[in-house]
């Protein structure tokens, strides 16, 4: 995440339309911490060929979105309670697709981020 933040700042891309996604590729409850994979994406219409950035498409589908204060404590609490939180909704989540952490410029400036939980369609 820190590398992405530095890259977007270097390229003057962090503005009111800016969005960063964090994508956990593995289940942290079943995968050892050193083996967990995590991708960071920046949404842009610009083309880059700098050897650092790779093109990827975000998973399509419907998501249940939670807005969370962007603090280490609140994010940790969210991850600890996610299963219980989802079971208290009338939505059926799928854990076969990655949960997306979304950092929109406007929300980050207000101290918040979002978690997008994939839903069964």
Q: Which domain holds residue 7?
A: 2-118
In degrees, rounded to 5, the angle at the alpha carbon of residue 106 between the alpha carbons of residues 113 and 42 is 70
pLDDT at 74 over 90: yes
Over residues 19-35, mean pLDDT: 84
pLDDT tens-digit readout, 29-41: 788 889 988 888 8
Task: Provide the CATH number for the domain around residue 31.
Answer: 3.20.80.10
pTM of the model: 0.81
109, containing H or E segment = helix 105-109
**Is pLDDT above 90 for 113?**
yes
Number of domains in the chain: 1
The values of phi and psi at residue 112, to 5°, are -130, 160
């Amino acid at each position: 995440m820190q590398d992405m933040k530095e890259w977007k700042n270097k390229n003057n891309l962090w503005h009111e339309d800016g969005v960063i996604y964090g994508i956990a590729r593995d289940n942290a409850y079943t995968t050892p911490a050193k083996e967990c994979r995590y991708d960071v994406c920046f949404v842009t219409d610009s083309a880059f060929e700098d050897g650092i950035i790779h093109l990827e498409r975000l998973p399509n589908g419907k998501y249940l979105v939670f807005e969370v204060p962007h603090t280490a404590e609140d994010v940790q609490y969210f991850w600890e309670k996610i299963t219980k939180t989802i079971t208290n909704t009338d939505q059926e989540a799928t854990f076969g697709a990655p949960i997306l952490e979304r950092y929109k410029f406007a929300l980050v400036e207000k101290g918040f981020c979002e978690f997008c939980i994939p839903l069964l369609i």
